[in-house]
Structure 1
Amino acid sequence: MTVIVQASDQDRPPRVRPALSAGTWKEIAYLLANLPAALIGFVYTLTMVVTAGGLSVTAIGIPLLACGLFVSRRLGRLERARARALLGVRVDEPTPLPGPTRAGGFFPWLWATVKDPVAWRNVLFELVRLPWGVLTFTVTLTGLFVLWPVLPYVARGLTNVDRAMVRGLLSPSDELERRIAELESDRGVVVDTAAADLRRIERDLHDGAQARLVALAMGLGLAKEKLLEDPEGAAAMVDEAHGEVKLALQELRDLARGIHPAVLTDRGLDAALSSVASRCVVPVKVAVDLPARPAAAIEGIAYFVVSELLQNVSKHAQARGAGVEVWRSGARLLIRVSDDGRGGASALAGSGMAGLAERLGAVDGVFLVDSPEGAGTVVTAELPWRDRGM
């Protein structure tokens, strides 16, 4: 006799839910956090817009709106960080707004903040996300108890929408914003470089030619007083003053050459670089192969780059020889300065070559240094080619 015993539901082992991956749990956490984050952002944004709009007819309306948009930018940063941590969305940070000092004053800064497209996209993100946050929270919470087998697919579909929203509304507008940031930085470099050059010229004039001319005027004054009493002494003082005049003229020529040499203006890079090479303490071979002269600004930068590099060769390289090559390749002007010295040169911050790299970067140029210890130095610089007259 066979006895069949049917187990009751209480005697059966509990059904095991399939395990979810770590990525799915992160997506679930993001979806569940959507509702509180959306509520906070929506309430703040709506309050800010309504309050600032209502007070726009008063003196505090626009400043209040600017402050509110500034905070909206901060909310956008938090949302990008949350999406980066839980959804793996890598979104570049938008260009930071310049402060009142760099913007040219309080009112230009105020206007730039009010019309900031990044902040307004953050406002739109916070306003449209509330209904989406309610939907994703409800669906995800229900799925934890009812839709467990298909929950990973549901979570992935919902978070893909979130990913699209973050990329579309919280990312920089396009490459233009990043380019603007670079240009802002480059403009600061150009201004700082120009200010440093002006200080150097002022210092050279004050300590060099100006001091020599003051001493010359005093010497001629003394010679004038002694002219009748001591003609021989006065003549000696005039001879000494004549020598001082020659030295002062030489210093002024050197200073003028450092600002912009006449040979560069009159005869171009080939003659100007040959002149620089002749003053180097080591023999320098110069090869310039250009079909035409580039724009004056590019030509001037190329000249000063080579001049600075040859000065480094004279002072630090301990080389027996050096070479300068300049040629055009497509839309770029290429410069190569090499020596057979001790090497070890660097373009790290604080060095003279770092200043050259910044100056080239300000005009969309490139600066590369290859200088192994004991094997010489090769510096390659690239500048954008612009035809003369542009």
Structure 2
Amino acid sequence: MAHHRLPTALRAPIEARAWREFGYLLLSLPLSVVYFAFSIAAVSLGAGLLITFLGIPVLAGGLAMCRGFGALERARARGLLGLDIADPEPARGERGGVMSWVGAVLKSGASWRHLLYALVHMPWAIFAFSVAVTFWTTGWAMFTYPLWSWIFPTFVGRGGIQLYGDRSHSVELDTSTELALTSLFGLALVLVTPWIIRSLATVDRVMVVGLLGPSRLATRVSELESDRGVVVDTAAADLRRIERDLHDGAQARLVALAMDLGLAKEKLAEDPRAAAVMVEEAHVEVKTALQELRDLARGIHPAILTDRGLDAALSAVAARCTVPVTVEVDLPSRPAAAIEGIAYFTVSELLQNVSKHARARRAFVDVWRTGDRLLLQVRDDGRGGADPEAGSGLAGLTERLDAVDGVLAVDSPVGGPTTVTAELPWRG
């Protein structure tokens, strides 16, 4: 983070942000006049022609024009205000063709929001332009007044800026004290003006986001579609993992066990001692295969979680960790089974990360409920440096939690300690 010698209040008038926002407000006036005029003309013409068939396509064309204005405004807000806003949902006809497109434009809520923006933005743009230009020009003119005050006696025939005047008396800013006071007052205006402009630009930001961006419903639908894709991909990955574990583990052991028992059966009559040794080895293989199947079943959904809940299940996970883990679960009741399962696997994977990567001496797991949210926190005193954006398992956890409206926050400075907090919706 850059360090500045000047405080923010003194730095604001010369910062690029202030000039960009001022430029945005200056451009808003002529553009809003164009938007307003074209929108009123197009909509009025379309509404007037509704008694004929021509009114419908004309009205749709006017709304499409407003959507074009909105695209220009989003680009302008992105460049001058640093506002990164997504495009609204496009208007597409179900069957294709001109009339299908006309119907889609007329039925789209985004089209009417763009029209509303074109109508209400002009009066606001006039007000914001007037306030911004008045404060900006007045402030800088008064602040620099000692530099150009010679213009008045030289070209105007007066001593300075006239504050009051009649036939017999006038008050002018022409003495050294008055010049200094004027400059100080101008400096105050110069320092205040960026914050006034920032407030005006904030209103524009709200209007652009609220009227020109995607609706909350469309945004939510897009999020749910993305989450559904994550859930499907996660389920497919889990199925592939289970298939691989079965094929490479228990299945391979059972095939070898069947072969060993077949050989033992053949040797049973001619060499009972060798057959007994082979049966003993097969018995060991059976135990190993059973343990692998138990581990695999625990990885799918542990029985202890279903029977005794998170406290007992997380304690069992902590017992298998390579470092001592203290588990504290403070829940008034059990959440929904799906949320409970996600919480279990989240803590399990975080503790695996502690075992494999953290080089920690101790770890702590805390689980509690706050309002309608279930919170999980895993802390360790290891080396830190965990980064969810580095393609690690934390990125996968983040996607899994996003799929159920959860959040994963990682605080892991280099050198440690590491604190990972997960937040899930409480669904009892």
The one-letter code of the counterpart of 2:86 is E
Map 1:269-280; keep pairs closer than 5 Å.
269-280=310-321
The one-letter code of the counterpart of 1:292 is S
Match of 1:322 among 344, 358, 363: 363
Q: Per-residue deviation at 1:122?
A: 3.3
Map 1:75-86; keep pairs closer than 5 Å.
75=68, 78-81=71-74, 84=77
Q: Is the 8 A contact 2:74 2:85 kept in 1?
A: no
Map 1:81-230; keep pairs closer than 5 Å.
81=74, 84=77, 92-94=85-87, 96=89, 119=108, 121-122=110-111, 170-173=212-215, 175-230=216-271
With over 3 angstroms needed to count, the CA separation of the structure-2 counterparts of 1:250 and 1:332, relative to structure 1, is: same
Q: Deviations over 1:122-164 (max 9, x none)?
A: 38968x98xx9xxx9xxxxxxxxxxxx9xx99xxxxxxxx999
With over 3 angstroms needed to count, the CA separation of the structure-2 counterparts of 1:300 and 1:82, relative to structure 1, is: closer
Q: Is the 8 A contact 1:334 1:381 kept in 2?
A: yes
With over 3 angstroms needed to count, the CA separation of the structure-2 counterparts of 1:258 and 1:227, relative to structure 1, is: same
Q: Is the 8 A contact 2:110 2:214 kept in 1?
A: no
The one-letter code of the counterpart of 1:361 is D
Q: Per-residue deviation at 1:22?
A: 5.6
* Aligned equivalent of 2:192: none
* SS at structure 1 position matched to 2:388: coil
* SS at structure 2 position matched to 1:193: helix
How far apart in 2 are the matches of 1:223 and 1:113? 80
Q: Deviations over 1:288-325 (max 9, x none)?
A: 11111111111111111111111111111111111111
- Count of aligned pairs: 319
Identity of matched residues, %: 60
* SS at structure 1 position matched to 2:389: coil
Q: Deviations over 1:236-272 (max 9, x none)?
A: 2211111111111000000000000000000001110
* SS at structure 2 position matched to 1:236: helix
How far apart in 2 are the matches of 1:112 and 1:331? 43
* SS at structure 1 position matched to 2:312: helix
Q: Per-residue deviation at 1:32?
A: 7.8
Stretch of structure 1 that moved more, 284-293 or 217-226: 217-226
* Aligned equivalent of 1:345: 386
With over 3 angstroms needed to count, the CA separation of the structure-2 counterparts of 1:33 and 1:252, relative to structure 1, is: same
Map 1:53-72; keep pairs closer than 5 Å.
none
The one-letter code of the counterpart of 1:179 is R
- Determine if the alignment matches structure 1 residue 356 to structure 2 residue 356: no
* SS at structure 1 position matched to 2:419: strand
Q: Is the 8 A contact 2:70 2:114 kept in 1?
A: no
How far apart in 2 are the matches of 1:282 and 1:82? 53
With over 3 angstroms needed to count, the CA separation of the structure-2 counterparts of 1:187 and 1:25, relative to structure 1, is: same
Instruction: Identify unmatched segments of 5+ residues in structure 1.
Output: 1-20, 55-64, 100-105, 137-148, 154-161
Q: Is the 8 A contact 2:378 2:421 kept in 1?
A: yes
With over 3 angstroms needed to count, the CA separation of the structure-2 counterparts of 1:164 and 1:89, relative to structure 1, is: farther
* Aligned equivalent of 2:337: 296
Aligned residues: CA RMSD: 4.8
How far apart in 2 are the matches of 1:82 and 1:118? 25
How far apart in 1 are the matches of 2:208 and 2:326? 57
Q: Per-residue deviation at 1:231?
A: 2.1
* Aligned equivalent of 1:256: 297
How far apart in 1 are the matches of 2:384 and 2:236? 31
Q: Per-residue deviation at 1:342?
A: 1.5
* SS at structure 1 position matched to 2:219: helix
* SS at structure 1 position matched to 2:332: coil
How far apart in 1 are the matches of 2:102 and 2:258? 57
Q: Is the 8 A contact 2:113 2:212 kept in 1?
A: no
- TM-score by structure 2 length? 0.60
